[in-house]
Amino acid sequence: MKLSKNLEKLLIELKYKYNPPVLLKKVFHEFYWTTTNNKILLTFDDGPIPENTELIIDSLSKHRIKALFFCVGDNVKKYSELAKSILMEGHIIGNHTFNHKILRTLSDQEKFYQIKSFNELLENDFNYKVKYFRPPHGRFQLGTNSLLNKFNLKNVMWSLLTFDYKNNFELVKFAVTNFMKKDSIIVLHDSNKSKNIILDSIEFIVEQAAEKKFTFGEPTECLK
């Protein structure tokens, strides 16, 4: 059936709510937008926080999935035992700035501090070298890649935004059902905003992946 132009436009606009435009990916080709091994990568932003992080770790352990946690430095500092738990379970921690600051609102000096202080915290307190970065709210600039190169960090974006932070499980189900692919980098949130639906969201993603015969990969193999 041939779609009307208006309907085609609507479908494209809807898709871009969950998956960034192809042109953007081409311009910023240095960033990871999908996995490189045709496996799904689960990522969790904004943690760690009490209660929610433990639930996520237990769920991932049950399904034998390794994930990439883009943590906020201040949360890591306050809840260091949770950060240790993430690492002990074999997951990866990425830099999500120290105070969850939007880069384009900061001076060059402040940007440098937000990234550097996070890396130093992980290296000094956990003997852990950070390799990956994700900008808060996914907002970056033309100079972001040059800035990250100074820290030898790779920027990991996504190909599926679940909108779990809206605390609406039906919205997550819609996103996953319609837009998850075998090479998706999926964004979920380790935060109070999503804690009421996070376990259901993980379970649904796992079920849908199995139904579509997709597999989950470990962060380092997904981002080669």
CA distances from 63 to 82, 92, 164, 217 (A): 20, 17, 20, 12
Quote the pLDDT of residue 5.
57
Residue 222 has pLDDT above 50, yes or no: yes
Residue 209 CB neighbour total at 10 angstroms: 22
Q: How many CA atoms lie within 13 A of 114 on its CB side?
A: 25
Quote the pLDDT of residue 13.
54
Would the CA dihedral through 109, 115, 118, 123 be positive or negative?
Answer: negative
Instruction: Please name which of 114, 197, 118, 208 lies closest in space to residue 160, comparing C-alpha atoms.
Output: 208
Average pLDDT, stretch 203-220? 98
pLDDT digits (tens, 9 = 90+) for 2-24: 445 554 454 455 567 889 988 99
Average pLDDT, stretch 183-210? 97
Contact 43, 156 (CB under 8 A): yes
* Mean pLDDT, the chain, whole residue set: 93
Domain 34-222, CATH class in plain words: alpha beta
